[in-house]
Amino acid sequence: MKMDVVVTGLGVVSPLGNDPETLWNALLRGESAAAPVSRFDASEYPVRIAAEVDDAPLGALFSPKETKRLPRFVRYGVAAALRCLENAGLKPSDVDPDRAGAMVGSGLGGMDLFMENMAALRDRGPSRVSPFFIPGTIVNSASGEISLRTGWRGPNWSVVSACASGNHAIMAACDQIRAGRADVMLAGASEEGVSPVALSGFCAMRALSARNDDPARASRPFDRARDGFLLGEGAAALCLESADHARARGARPLAVLAGCGASADAWHPAAPRPDGAGALRAMRAALRDAGLEPGDVDVVNAHGTSTPAGDLAEGRALVELFGERQPVLNATKAMLGHALGASSALEAVVSVLTLRDGKVHPSVNLDRPEFEGILRYAPPRAEALAARTVLSNGFGFGGHNSSLLFARV
């Protein structure tokens, strides 16, 4: 029998704030995190805008030695996880350490540390490579550091599936609870996306919006004038518990993780299937897992990257799945940017907050919508909506598709 899994806590590190309430209120106001790149000199890049995290408020969580040892994506992931525990009203010692764990995904891992050590190797030789290079660069270092901080000895690993990593990590954590292997799991993803090598790589792919003179309007999911995504970064963590465990400790769940779905496109290294068939299979799988029908979905938090091909494929899948009864559709990346591996985890947090508060954040930069008159886009201002369910999509390079179905408690 499938065990109910509930969400009891949320934690974020984002370009719009480093706690869920700050992020959520900024989204409800329609604020954009887009700005000229400040972390490094981007003057020679064709794209010079991004959505950056403000690292300064995180400093109190890490000693100077830890800050030097741990790359940004690990610090982001740890900060989101620790704040998630606080939000859930849990201390690590409150839980059986053998029945608690962490799943933290990432698309790229420690890119800055990798480049620093490659430069050291090239310029000064092998003796100048840091002993922290390998442990800090590998993707699983974030989940491993959370285990060290909490003392939890239960299931602990990482998921790498590009921009679907967050959803897949949450799915993997959910599976551990459903299978009876864990009572509590911290699940999500982390990414230090705004780095010279990542920006140059996505520029080379021509995947980014080049609206350098109008950053706030650069990310425009489902708008016919979209020209690419806005590079972002950050981290998010959800505290997942078995319903029995949450009830026994008197926790009040924020939402139920009712269904999970995944699929592969088997199509192209980066482009989605044009017909959206892979995305459609993932969404249908999440509905089957939840025992629900398409008509039971009230809101879809789209993957919605603002790329010409990606939005078109997802839109076609939504039309095929929901037909004439379209749920409300919004796209968080229009304001938050695309945090790569962390994006779907951040959007899972937004989906839970949508259910908790009975509101959907606005659609912004949507002047000439694709599928006009067919898809039901959220209005340009936040709207009250007593949603029962939210379907949250995350799709990644390589044809990795994921959907999570959250339901109101």
Residues annotated as catalytic are 163, 303, 338
* Strands lying side by side in the sheet with 5-13: 156-157, 100-105, 184-191, 234-242, 5-13, 255-264, 400-407, 389-396, 299-301, 328-330, 376-377
Name residue 222's amino acid.
F
Structure tokens given for 146: 């959370």
Q: Rounded to whole angstroms, how far apart are CA atoms 227 and 311?
A: 11
Q: Rounded to whole angstroms, how far apart are CA atoms 88 and 395?
A: 28
CA angle 361, 362, 365 (to 5 degrees): 140
Strands 255-264 and 400-407: antiparallel
Q: Rounded to whole angstroms, how far apart are CA atoms 187 and 6?
A: 12
